[in-house]
Protein backbone atom coordinates (compact mmCIF):
# COMPACT_ATOMS: atom_id res chain seq x y z
CA UNK A 1 0.00 0.00 0.00
CA UNK A 2 1.36 3.40 -0.92
CA UNK A 3 -0.05 5.39 1.99
CA UNK A 4 -1.88 4.15 5.06
CA UNK A 5 -4.51 6.35 6.64
CA UNK A 6 -6.43 6.41 9.90
CA UNK A 7 -10.09 5.47 9.53
CA UNK A 8 -12.83 5.70 12.16
CA UNK A 9 -16.23 4.01 12.01
CA UNK A 10 -18.39 5.60 14.70
CA UNK A 11 -21.97 6.55 15.55
CA UNK A 12 -25.01 5.00 17.21
CA UNK A 13 -26.04 2.98 14.19
CA UNK A 14 -25.37 -0.64 13.46
CA UNK A 15 -22.54 -1.70 11.18
CA UNK A 16 -19.27 -0.30 12.52
CA UNK A 17 -17.60 -3.67 13.11
CA UNK A 18 -19.24 -5.13 10.01
CA UNK A 19 -17.79 -2.32 7.89
CA UNK A 20 -14.32 -2.78 9.33
CA UNK A 21 -14.44 -6.55 8.85
CA UNK A 22 -15.71 -6.05 5.29
CA UNK A 23 -12.64 -3.90 4.67
CA UNK A 24 -10.51 -6.76 6.02
CA UNK A 25 -12.05 -9.18 3.54
CA UNK A 26 -11.50 -6.72 0.69
CA UNK A 27 -7.86 -6.29 1.70
CA UNK A 28 -7.24 -10.05 1.93
CA UNK A 29 -8.72 -10.39 -1.55
CA UNK A 30 -6.01 -8.01 -2.75
CA UNK A 31 -3.22 -9.87 -0.96
CA UNK A 32 -2.77 -7.47 1.95
CA UNK A 33 -1.84 -8.62 5.46
CA UNK A 34 -4.59 -7.87 8.02
CA UNK A 35 -4.57 -8.06 11.80
CA UNK A 36 -7.78 -7.54 13.79
CA UNK A 37 -7.61 -6.75 17.49
CA UNK A 38 -10.97 -6.80 19.22
CA UNK A 39 -11.55 -5.19 22.61
CA UNK A 40 -14.52 -5.47 25.01
CA UNK A 41 -16.49 -8.07 23.04
CA UNK A 42 -17.04 -11.67 24.06
CA UNK A 43 -19.82 -12.80 21.76
CA UNK A 44 -18.88 -14.52 18.53
CA UNK A 45 -20.52 -12.73 15.61
CA UNK A 46 -20.93 -14.00 12.07
CA UNK A 47 -18.09 -11.75 10.92
CA UNK A 48 -15.70 -13.30 13.44
CA UNK A 49 -16.76 -16.82 12.46
CA UNK A 50 -16.33 -16.07 8.76
CA UNK A 51 -12.86 -14.62 9.19
CA UNK A 52 -11.74 -17.42 11.48
CA UNK A 53 -13.11 -20.13 9.16
CA UNK A 54 -12.44 -18.67 5.74
CA UNK A 55 -9.59 -16.19 6.12
CA UNK A 56 -6.85 -18.02 8.00
CA UNK A 57 -4.35 -15.44 6.81
CA UNK A 58 -6.06 -12.81 9.00
CA UNK A 59 -4.61 -12.72 12.48
CA UNK A 60 -7.48 -12.25 14.94
CA UNK A 61 -6.86 -11.43 18.60
CA UNK A 62 -9.36 -10.66 21.34
CA UNK A 63 -8.58 -8.94 24.64
CA UNK A 64 -11.43 -9.47 27.08
CA UNK A 65 -11.59 -12.28 29.61
CA UNK A 66 -14.90 -11.04 31.04
CA UNK A 67 -18.25 -12.45 29.96
CA UNK A 68 -20.50 -9.60 31.11
CA UNK A 69 -21.27 -6.32 29.41
CA UNK A 70 -19.37 -3.36 30.91
CA UNK A 71 -22.50 -1.91 32.53
CA UNK A 72 -23.12 -5.21 34.38
CA UNK A 73 -19.61 -5.57 35.84
CA UNK A 74 -18.57 -5.04 39.44
CA UNK A 75 -15.38 -3.14 40.32
CA UNK A 76 -13.17 -6.24 40.24
CA UNK A 77 -14.49 -7.32 36.83
CA UNK A 78 -14.03 -3.80 35.47
CA UNK A 79 -10.44 -3.80 36.65
CA UNK A 80 -9.81 -7.11 34.89
CA UNK A 81 -11.35 -5.67 31.72
CA UNK A 82 -9.08 -2.63 31.98
CA UNK A 83 -6.06 -4.89 32.50
CA UNK A 84 -7.05 -6.99 29.46
CA UNK A 85 -7.47 -3.83 27.40
CA UNK A 86 -4.12 -2.40 28.49
CA UNK A 87 -2.46 -5.71 27.58
CA UNK A 88 -4.16 -5.55 24.18
CA UNK A 89 -2.96 -2.02 23.59
CA UNK A 90 0.61 -3.07 24.38
CA UNK A 91 0.17 -5.87 21.82
CA UNK A 92 -1.08 -3.27 19.29
CA UNK A 93 1.94 -1.03 19.90
CA UNK A 94 4.24 -3.97 19.15
CA UNK A 95 2.39 -4.69 15.89
CA UNK A 96 2.86 -1.08 14.86
CA UNK A 97 6.51 -0.91 15.96
CA UNK A 98 7.33 -4.06 14.01
CA UNK A 99 5.19 -3.05 10.99
CA UNK A 100 3.53 -6.50 11.03
CA UNK A 101 0.61 -5.77 8.71
CA UNK A 102 -0.85 -3.56 6.02
CA UNK A 103 -4.17 -3.03 7.80
CA UNK A 104 -4.64 -3.02 11.56
CA UNK A 105 -8.26 -3.02 12.75
CA UNK A 106 -8.86 -1.99 16.36
CA UNK A 107 -12.45 -2.94 17.06
CA UNK A 108 -13.99 -0.93 19.93
CA UNK A 109 -10.85 1.10 20.58
CA UNK A 110 -12.99 4.26 20.40
CA UNK A 111 -14.83 3.08 23.54
CA UNK A 112 -11.52 2.54 25.35
CA UNK A 113 -10.57 6.11 24.46
CA UNK A 114 -13.95 7.41 25.67
CA UNK A 115 -13.52 5.62 29.02
CA UNK A 116 -9.86 6.75 29.19
CA UNK A 117 -8.69 3.17 29.55
CA UNK A 118 -6.39 4.21 26.72
CA UNK A 119 -5.69 7.94 26.74
CA UNK A 120 -5.87 10.14 23.67
CA UNK A 121 -2.19 10.98 24.24
CA UNK A 122 -1.33 7.27 24.05
CA UNK A 123 -3.30 6.91 20.84
CA UNK A 124 -1.66 10.02 19.37
CA UNK A 125 1.74 8.47 20.13
CA UNK A 126 0.64 5.27 18.37
CA UNK A 127 -0.49 7.29 15.35
CA UNK A 128 2.89 9.05 15.32
CA UNK A 129 4.86 5.80 15.13
CA UNK A 130 2.46 4.15 12.67
CA UNK A 131 4.37 3.18 9.53
CA UNK A 132 3.47 5.39 6.57
CA UNK A 133 2.05 2.43 4.65
CA UNK A 134 -0.07 0.97 7.48
CA UNK A 135 -3.83 1.57 7.50
CA UNK A 136 -5.26 1.94 10.99
CA UNK A 137 -9.02 1.33 11.40
CA UNK A 138 -10.88 2.10 14.64
CA UNK A 139 -14.48 1.33 15.54
CA UNK A 140 -16.77 2.40 18.35
CA UNK A 141 -19.50 4.82 19.32
CA UNK A 142 -19.02 8.48 20.19
CA UNK A 143 -15.66 9.27 18.61
CA UNK A 144 -14.38 12.46 20.22
CA UNK A 145 -13.85 15.64 18.20
CA UNK A 146 -10.12 15.21 18.85
CA UNK A 147 -10.11 11.69 17.36
CA UNK A 148 -12.20 12.84 14.40
CA UNK A 149 -9.71 15.65 13.75
CA UNK A 150 -6.79 13.20 13.88
CA UNK A 151 -8.39 10.68 11.50
CA UNK A 152 -8.18 10.86 7.72
CA UNK A 153 -11.57 9.21 7.10
CA UNK A 154 -14.54 9.18 9.46
CA UNK A 155 -17.83 7.42 8.77
CA UNK A 156 -20.72 7.91 11.16
CA UNK A 157 -23.34 5.16 11.32
CA UNK A 158 -26.59 6.93 12.12
CA UNK A 159 -29.79 4.99 12.82
CA UNK A 160 -33.05 6.21 11.36
CA UNK A 161 -35.06 3.13 12.19
CA UNK A 162 -34.14 -0.16 13.85
CA UNK A 163 -36.15 -3.38 14.41
CA UNK A 164 -35.10 -3.37 18.07
CA UNK A 165 -37.46 -0.40 18.54
CA UNK A 166 -40.29 -2.77 17.54
CA UNK A 167 -39.19 -5.42 20.03
CA UNK A 168 -37.33 -7.55 17.48
CA UNK A 169 -34.22 -9.01 19.10
CA UNK A 170 -30.86 -9.54 17.38
CA UNK A 171 -31.16 -12.17 14.66
CA UNK A 172 -28.43 -14.72 13.98
CA UNK A 173 -26.70 -13.92 10.71
CA UNK A 174 -28.11 -10.39 10.54
CA UNK A 175 -27.26 -8.58 13.78
CA UNK A 176 -25.02 -11.25 15.29
Provide the residue ranges of all domains of the chain, joining segments of one domain with +.
6-166
Structure confidence at residue 76 (pLDDT): 87
Contact 80, 64 (CB under 8 A): no
CA distance 28 to 171: 27
Nearest 5°: phi and psi at 122?
-65, -40
Structure confidence at residue 55 (pLDDT): 93
* Best CATH choice for the domain 6-166 from the list 3.40.50.2300, 3.40.50.720, 3.40.50.300, 2.60.40.1180: 3.40.50.300
Q: Compute mean pLDDT per 10 residues along the chain, 176 residues long, and list them.
A: 94 94 96 96 86 93 80 82 94 98 98 95 98 98 98 95 82 78
39's enclosing H/E stretch is strand 34-39
Q: How far is CA 69 from CA 162, 164, 165, in A?
A: 21, 18, 20
Structure confidence at residue 112 (pLDDT): 95
Amino acid sequence: MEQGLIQVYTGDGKGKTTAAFGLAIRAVGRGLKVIIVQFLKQEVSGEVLFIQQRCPEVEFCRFNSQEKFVWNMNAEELQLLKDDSRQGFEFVKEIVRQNKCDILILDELVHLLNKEIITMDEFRQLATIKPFTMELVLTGRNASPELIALADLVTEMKPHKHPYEQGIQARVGIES
